[in-house]
């Protein structure tokens, strides 16, 4: 069980990069961008085809980042210059990317098991360092030898990468351009009064959002050992689930806190999915249903908790008023008896 859950955590860290991209579009820009389902596969398609062609996996993954940025920018242009509804522009781009991805891949599935990928290179380098033996030795001394995964390398390196991506967003959103993008999402009419080019800011924000998504798609394809044309279905829901779960647990008062919440939410989401699929009642085909249920609960439960807190606070205020009125009544009665 621990091994399967550890695999869920590993995948969750990689999906966290995708969730950071969703956070940029949905929370910062307040833009319902459905391009994510297409750009996720685009990242995997570009990286897998380049790797199979003999190009360095790290360069291929970087090109996937750029491909996602381009896809996001086109969505932004459809909305800003084409005056198309935000939701519809995302749907149109997602639909177009399905054919584009098939063109890039040349077939519905591109296997990578026989190729050197970022994941295999990291694994070889990590094994050469011998860090796993040191970590596992201490775990065995602590009596946790039965809970030792095959390797810690992918998890640790991907966690560091996700943290670097988080810090990149934290830094960028504090720059002048980043603050302007945040202002567009908060109050577009206000920033227009400062003669800011809101169209350009939206295009840039959507480009960055889908760049993160495509980057995650490239890593997931290499992690799974293949890229499939249908692996992007439901990615937007997974990203939203990660954002909502993280915000419900950690909060989103600041950018630093919100981006950390997204990473934690992505990991928790994958753990929940892993645990749910271990229940005999569910099978792998129920994954999307489980995802939808998680999102619904993540949206409803915080509201119920907030309503309960407000009810309790209101109840306490009423009790305090009753006590105060009772105390005043007893005081008045004492004064009358003395007279």
- CATH number for the domain that contains residue 137: 1.10.3470
Query: Measuring CA to CA, which residue among 2, 74, 34, 21 is closest to residue 242?
Result: 21
Q: Are residues 138 and 173 in the same domain?
A: yes
pLDDT band (50, 70, 90) for residue 2 = low
Q: Are residues 33 and 107 in the same domain?
A: yes
Q: Are residues 132 and 215 in the same domain?
A: yes
Q: Are residues 47 and 130 in the same domain?
A: yes
Q: Which whole number is the average pLDDT over 135-147? A: 68
80/330: higher pLDDT: 80
Q: Are residues 314 and 205 in the same domain?
A: no
Return the minimum-mean-pLDDT range out of 58-67, 100-109, 301-310. 301-310
| CA angle centred on 262, ends 4 and 16, rounded to 5° | 50
- Element at 239 (helix H, strand E): helix 235-249
Q: Is the pLDDT of residue 90 over 60?
A: yes
Q: Which whole number is the average pLDDT over 28-39? A: 93
CB 162 within 8 A of CB 263: yes
* Domain presence at residue 224: yes
So what's the pLDDT on residue 337?
Answer: 56
* Domain presence at residue 284: no
Q: Which whole number is the average pLDDT over 62-69? A: 96
Q: In 3-state terms, what secondary structure has residue 335?
A: helix
So what's the pLDDT on residue 211?
Answer: 96
Distance CA 172, CA 243 (A): 19
* Domain presence at residue 285: no
Query: What is the maximal distance between C-alpha atoms in the chain?
Result: 103
Q: Are residues 316 and 234 in the same domain?
A: no
Q: Are residues 171 and 301 in the same domain?
A: no
Return the bridge partners of 203, or none.
Answer: none
Q: Are residues 95 and 59 in the same domain?
A: yes
- Pull the structure tokens for residue 160: 């560091």
Q: What is the DSSP string of 98-130?
A: HHHHHHHHSSSEEE-TTS--HHHHHHHHHHHHT
Distance CA 96, CA 43 (A): 15
Range with top average pLDDT, 88-102, 137-151, 241-255: 88-102
* Domain presence at residue 320: yes
Positive or negative, the CA dihedral 292, 165, 37, 122 is negative
Q: Which whole number is the average pLDDT over 129-150? A: 71
- Tens digits of residue pLDDT in 164-222: 999 999 999 999 999 999 999 888 888 877 777 889 999 999 999 999 999 999 999 99
So what's the pLDDT on residue 126?
Answer: 86
Cβ neighbours for 9, distance < 8 A, ≥ 6 positions apart? 155, 267, 270, 271
Polymer length in residues for the chain? 339
SS3 content of the chain, % helix, strand, coil (to 5): 80, 0, 20
Q: Is the pLDDT of residue 79 over 90?
A: yes
Cβ neighbours for 233, distance < 8 A, ≥ 6 positions apart? 37, 288
CB 68 within 8 A of CB 211: yes
Domain span including residue 42: 2-278
Q: Which whole number is the average pLDDT over 7-32? A: 92
Could you give the number of structural domains in the chain? Answer: 2
* Domain presence at residue 283: no
**Taking the mean position of all CA atoms in its chain, how far away is CA 1?**
25
Q: Are residues 14 and 106 in the same domain?
A: yes
CB 20 within 8 A of CB 169: yes
Listed residues 278, 304, 324: the one ending a domain: 278
Q: Are residues 303 and 263 in the same domain?
A: no
CB 201 within 8 A of CB 186: no
Q: Is the pLDDT of residue 338 over 60?
A: no
Q: Which residue has the tokens 């095959």?
A: 150
- Annotate 187-226 with three-state secondary structure: CHHHHHCCCCCHHHHHHHHHHHHHHHHHHHHHHHHHHHCE
Q: Provide the whole-model pTM.
A: 0.87
337/228: higher pLDDT: 228
- Pull the structure tokens for residue 58: 């790290």
Q: Mean pLDDT across the chain, nearest whole number?
A: 87
Q: Output the CA–CA distances (angstroms, integers) from residue 18 to 21, 91, 211, in the order listed.
A: 5, 18, 9
So what's the pLDDT on residue 147?
Answer: 62
So what's the pLDDT on residue 101?
Answer: 95
E-state strands within 132-190:
none
Range with top average pLDDT, 4-8, 34-38, 133-137: 34-38
pLDDT band (50, 70, 90) for residue 285 = confident
115/195: higher pLDDT: 115
So what's the pLDDT on residue 165?
Answer: 95
So what's the pLDDT on residue 329?
Answer: 64
* Domain presence at residue 81: yes
Q: Are residues 87 and 168 in the same domain?
A: yes
Q: How far apart are the first and last CA of the chain?
A: 79
Q: Which whole number is the average pLDDT over 19-26? A: 94
Q: Which whole number is the average pLDDT over 278-301? A: 79
So what's the pLDDT on residue 56?
Answer: 95
So what's the pLDDT on residue 282?
Answer: 76
* Domain presence at residue 289: no
* Domain presence at residue 288: no
Return the bridge partners of 228, or none.
Answer: 109
So what's the pLDDT on residue 197?
Answer: 86
Q: Are residues 303 and 179 in the same domain?
A: no
């Amino acid at each position: 069980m621990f091994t399967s859950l550890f695999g869920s955590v590993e995948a969750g860290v990689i999906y966290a990069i995708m969730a950071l991209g969703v956070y940029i579009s949905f929370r910062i820009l307040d833009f319902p961008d459905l391009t994510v389902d297409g750009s996720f596969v685009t990242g995997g398609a570009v990286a897998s085809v380049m790797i199979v062609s003999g190009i360095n996996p790290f360069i291929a993954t970087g090109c996937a980042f750029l491909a996602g940025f381009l896809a996001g920018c086109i969505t932004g242009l459809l909305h800003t210059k084409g005056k198309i509804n935000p939701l519809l522009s995302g749907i149109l781009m997602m639909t177009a990317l399905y054919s584009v991805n098939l063109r890039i891949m040349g077939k519905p599935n591109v296997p990578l098991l026989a190729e050197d990928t970022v994941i295999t290179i990291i694994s070889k380098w990590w094994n050469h360092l011998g860090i796993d033996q040191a970590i596992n030795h201490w775990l065995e001394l602590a009596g946790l030898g039965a809970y030792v995964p095959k390797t810690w390398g992918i998890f640790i390196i991907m966690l560091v990468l996700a943290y670097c991506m988080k810090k990149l967003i934290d830094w960028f959103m504090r720059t002048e351009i980043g603050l302007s993008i945040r202002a567009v999402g908060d109050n577009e009419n206000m920033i227009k009064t400062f003669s800011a080019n809101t169209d350009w800011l939206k295009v840039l924000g959507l480009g960055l959002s889908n760049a993160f998504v495509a980057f995650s798609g490239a890593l997931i394809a290499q992690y799974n050992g293949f890229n499939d044309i249908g692996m992007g279905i439901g990615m937007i829901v997974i990203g939203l689930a990660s954002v909502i779960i993280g915000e419900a647990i950690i909060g989103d008062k600041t950018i630093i806190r919100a981006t950390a919440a997204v990473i934690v939410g992505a990991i928790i989401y994958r753990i929940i999915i892993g645990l749910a699929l271990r229940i005999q009642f569910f099978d792998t085909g129920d994954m999307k249903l489980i995802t939808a249920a998680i999102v619904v609960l993540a949206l409803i439960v915080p509201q119920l908790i907030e309503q309960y807190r407000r009810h309790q606070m209101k109840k306490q205020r009423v009790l305090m008023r009753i006590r105060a009125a009772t105390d005043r009544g007893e005081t008045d009665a004492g004064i009358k008896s003395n007279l």
